[in-house]
Each structure stands twice: as C-alpha cells, then as structure tokens.
A and B are shown apart, each in its own frame.
Chain A
C-alpha cells in the first residue's frame, strides 16, 4: 500500500454523501458544534485565521514534514481511524460496492443486509472507544503533568472530536443496542474471552496498536477503558435526552431509513457511514496544523 499523502487525504474528504448527512443529522444533539471542514489549505486558513500566502506555505510544509515522520504518531492515528471504520463495515461491502455513489435507498438495499448480532455490536463499540483513546495519544501525546491534566484535555473535546463521540454513542450504541447500550456492551464484552476477541474483525484490524502484551492484556485494557468512560457516555445520553427513536427521527431528515428495522439500520450505518475516518481525518488535520503554526 502506498503511503498516505496528508494534503491529499484532507483534500479528498467528501462535502456530501451518506457519511456527511448522517453526521449532520446529529446537529440536534450538539447544535452548531460541527462544520464539515474539508480541504488542506482551507483547513489551514480556517484553523489559523491567516491569509498570507507565504505563511500558509510554511504552515503546510511543516504539517507535511511532521506527518511524514513516522515517529510523530500521526500516520498511526490516521491508520487507526481508517481501519476501525473499514473493518467494522467489511461484511457485505463487496456485494454492495457497485451501489456506492448511487442514490442510496435504505429499503432498496435492505435485502442485502444481515443484522449484526448483539455480541458483535458490543465488541465493535468497545474496540472503537479504545481506538479513540489510542488515536488521541498518538496525535496529542499525553499532555500535562498529571492524570487530572490528561482528563481535562479529554474533557475539552469539541468540534469534530465531540461529534465523533456523539456518533459513536448514537450510531454504534443507541441504534443497535438500545438505551442501556453502555451496560449491555460492557457485560457482553466481559463475557467475551480473549481468544474470541482475537477473532473479531474490528479488533483484528487495530490489534497491533492496542496496549497490552497479549490478548488477555488487551482485553483488560479495553474493559478498563470502557468502564472509565461509561459514566461519560451515560451522562451524555441523559443530559441530551437521547433515545434510539430521536436519533432515527433526525437521521430520517437526511437519509432514507426506516424506523421499524433498527437492527438492519445498524448494519446499514456500518457499511455506508464512515464517520470515524471522516471526523478522524478532520481532528488529525486540525491538531497537526495547530502544532505547525506554533512551531514555525
């Protein structure tokens, strides 16, 4: 596989389509929090507010330099965001590949979808959450001098990072698993043996970058991470009054989906909505540019 070129990756972010529509449908959860920022130069201008061409050149050059140095962690973060999305949606993608780019109708492709069992959905959710934590550290390091500092940095999530977490809660939690998704996922995950985990498609994709010396170590790292963020997720759902129905209602304004087939909807979202990669690239680009403008 050829190495990613950061400005091409950011330039290629779509301005429309199912992923962008699905993310826009979450505006009711976090009004005005997310704008679909695309294009490398455009991101530089928007993040820094600078217009001077020579300055933009310097910022972009520094960003490219930092990204291309593997030891800086940005390439690993990109890989994580891309892999966790494609691994979870791999099932059935080939059969439907020819439909991508056409007007996607939920009912039209329903016959090709198989709902994912609850167990797989639960593992997916847990692995995705841990990927967020690992990618955060690859991009930002571990900022501050204490655990408290680190938690403050996590709490300060905004923009595309916050909308990614909202999408995780709504699309990978509420829709496939229901209102008590966090407890359900955690108890299912705890009952999953490390050897079962090893066979999971989503986990296999990102296995190498999950902390832990062996499957048992990785299993407990994921369990602990999920346990410590479960409170945040439940609080998020409670404070916004979120229900699967509300999420689907808003989704229906943007994507043609049917409410009585929620388990199929989860499979549909898995396949077509690449929100992790989309917002992950946006987070990475923003942080890389913030560092670059400070370093030049």
Chain B
C-alpha cells in the first residue's frame, strides 16, 4: 500500500516537473528578437533615413481612380506613401512608393532580368511586383485578392507617372 502511495506521489511530482519544463520551453526567443535588440539600442539608426523624400511628394505620381476601381489614400510617412485599390468597396490591391535610401530594398533589383516600362522589375513572393526608378524609388503593387493577378500588377505599375518620379531626386 505504502509503495502505491509513494508511486502516486512520485507520479504527481513528475507530472508537475514535466509541465514546468514544457512551460519554460515556450519562452524560446522569437525569430524577430535579434532585430528587436538591434533596433532598441541607444545608437540604433533611424528606421527611415533623414534624407528620404517626404511621402507627400509621391502623391502626384500615383494612378487615379478608373472605371470599376477606386483609388483611396491609405498611408503617408517620410519616405513612403500608399494607396488602396478598391473594387465594389472591396480592397483588391495596394499601391506604394518608397524611398529605398538607407535600406537594403534596392539590392534585389541588381540581378533582375525583367523590366516593366523600361525599369528593372522583380516579382516578390506570391503577391507583389515592384520596379526600381532611378536606382532609388521602389514602386510596388500588391495583390490583396486572387482576382488581382500578376498581369494586373504589371499593368498598374505602368499607370504610375514613373517618368515624373524619375525626375524627382
């Protein structure tokens, strides 16, 4: 009887230990913890370079609403501006221009063999197409609905005033 009782106690102690250890193991560092650490240092560089163009300067290069598609302003920060493309009130795509100064975003265009409207272009992941204008400004179209295809993205990039943007810097 005594040994049974002890076995029960042992089992419950073991169970506690297992729970304790497994609870601890869930605190493994996040895959973003390195960036978290680097960007919270006292001397961390700013997220956007000081010399990056104000987002408001990009507004005039965006395409306007066309039949069936409404283009609505969404975000505007230093070095960045973004518009939504809505179809029947539903968001189907995003349009963005950003200044790549101080970020590695322009590097991916170096080996690009594709061009859109004469500018180096890349497909990024499954839902994004981008071109690099004047080695500095990235113009990107992102699908938010399967109906907005890769071909639509390329077509919408051509609707931007890319020439005007090239003359900006």
Contacts and interface: CB of A to CB of B under 8 A. Distances in A.
* A and B: bona fide binding partners: yes
Contacts of A140: 74-76
Interface residues of A, number: 42
Contact of B73 (A5, A69, A153): A153
A119 interface: no
Interface stretch (B80-88, B112-120, B159-167): B80-88
B156 to A, nearest CB: 14
Contacts of A158: 91
Given A71-B46, A290-B75, A145 B39 contact: no
Interface string A133-176: 00000011111110001101100101000000000000000000
- Which residue, of B40, B77, B103, B142, has the highest number of chain A Cβ atoms within 10 A? B77
A64 B32 CA distance: 8
A141 B142 contact: no
A72 interface: yes
A150 B59 CA distance: 12
Interface stretch (B8-16, B17-25, B123-131): B123-131
Interface stretch (A52-60, A202-210, A244-252): A52-60
Contact of A69 (B39, B83, B86): B39
Contacts of B36: 5, 7, 64, 68
A73 B80 CA distance: 14
Nearest to A141: B76
Contacts, number: 117
A296 interface: yes
Interface in A221-268: none
Interface stretch (A14-22, A43-51, A87-95): A43-51
A199 to B, nearest CB: 35
Contact of A294 (B44, B91, B96, B126): B96
Nearest to A69: B47
Nearest to A8: B30
B126 A142 contact: no
A69 B74 contact: no
Given A7-B32, A49-B143, A143 B74 contact: yes
A71 B30 CA distance: 24
B98 A143 contact: no
Interface string A25-68: 00000000000000010000000111110010100110011101
A290 B82 contact: yes
Contact of A50 (B56, B126, B138): B126
A156 B103 contact: no
A295 B72 contact: no
A293 B128 contact: yes
B169 interface: no
Contact of B82 (A150, A156, A291): A291
A287 interface: yes
B67 interface: no
B40 A68 contact: yes
A3 interface: yes
A72 B86 contact: no
A145 B60 CA distance: 8
B126 A51 contact: yes
Interface of B: 30-32, 35-36, 39-40, 44, 46-48, 55-56, 59-60, 72-77, 80-84, 86, 91, 94, 96, 98, 103, 105, 124-128, 138, 140, 142-144
Given A3-B40, A52-B126, A145-B56, 16 more contacts: A40-B32, A49-B127, A49-B143, A52-B125, A61-B32, A61-B35, A64-B36, A72-B77, A140-B74, A141-B55, A143-B81, A152-B72, A290-B82, A290-B94, A294-B82, A295-B105
17 contacts: A7-B36, A48-B125, A55-B125, A61-B35, A64-B36, A72-B48, A143-B76, A143-B83, A145-B56, A153-B74, A158-B91, A291-B96, A294-B80, A294-B98, A295-B80, A295-B103, A296-B124
